[in-house]
Amino acid sequence: MTLPAPRSRAERRRDTEHRLSHDVDVWVATASPDGVPHLVPLSFDWDGEALLAATPADSPTGRNLAVGRTVRLALGGTRDVSVIDGTVEVLDLDALPAERADRFAAQAGFDPREAAGAYRWFRITPRRVQAWREVNELPGRDLMRDGRWLP
């Protein structure tokens, strides 16, 4: 199989930002304090700076996000993936401005403010972003480091 030419960093960033702006769900990987991994898909909304997600506060993901305050996210398939390592801010449902919560509900097709159970918002700020399609894109896969997009 002949691989397509690797994308430039600018192309990978553009593709990743498109995915952040248009995808509805993201894979969320967390770990418990004793190191038990947990992986789930969650709906999200991207505002250009951070991803907003919601899950029950007492779910494994909700507990792990609240305690660990770090997360790894994955968008796309195995042959076109964007991986995001981020820090987590935990917010009660009433702590978010209504317009931001409304935007999430419109994007996700789900409004945690109307759900049964105690949900929380989780605002995830990217600290590292990587993107690659094939092995020839592994070099230079870093798009963001320490919360700053690379040139």
Q: What does the pLDDT look like over 67-87, one tens digit per residue?
A: 999 999 999 998 999 999 999
What rounded mean pLDDT belongs to the chain?
95
Question: Is residue 64 assigned to a domain?
Answer: yes
Question: Is residue 147 assigned to a domain?
Answer: no
Question: Is residue 104 assigned to a domain?
Answer: yes
Question: Is residue 39 assigned to a domain?
Answer: yes
Residue span of the structural domain in which 17 resides: 9-140
Question: Is residue 151 assigned to a domain?
Answer: no
Q: From the first residue on, what is the mean pLDDT of each consecutive set of 10 residues in the chain (151 residues)?
A: 89 97 97 96 97 97 96 95 98 95 95 92 98 94 97 94
Question: Is residue 146 assigned to a domain?
Answer: no
Place of tokens 């419109």: 106
CATH of the domain at 20: 2.30.110.10
Question: Is residue 2 assigned to a domain?
Answer: no
Query: Which pLDDT belongs to residue 116?
Result: 81
Question: Is residue 150 assigned to a domain?
Answer: no
Amino acid at 23: D
CB 42 within 8 A of CB 65: no
Could you tell me which residues come within 8 angstroms of residue 58 by beta carbon, excluding any fewer than 6 positions away?
117, 118
Say what percent of the chain tops pLDDT 90.
93
Number of domains in the chain: 1
Could you tell me which residues come within 8 angstroms of residue 112 by beta carbon, excluding any fewer than 6 positions away?
54, 55, 93, 119, 121
Query: Which pLDDT belongs to residue 137?
Result: 93
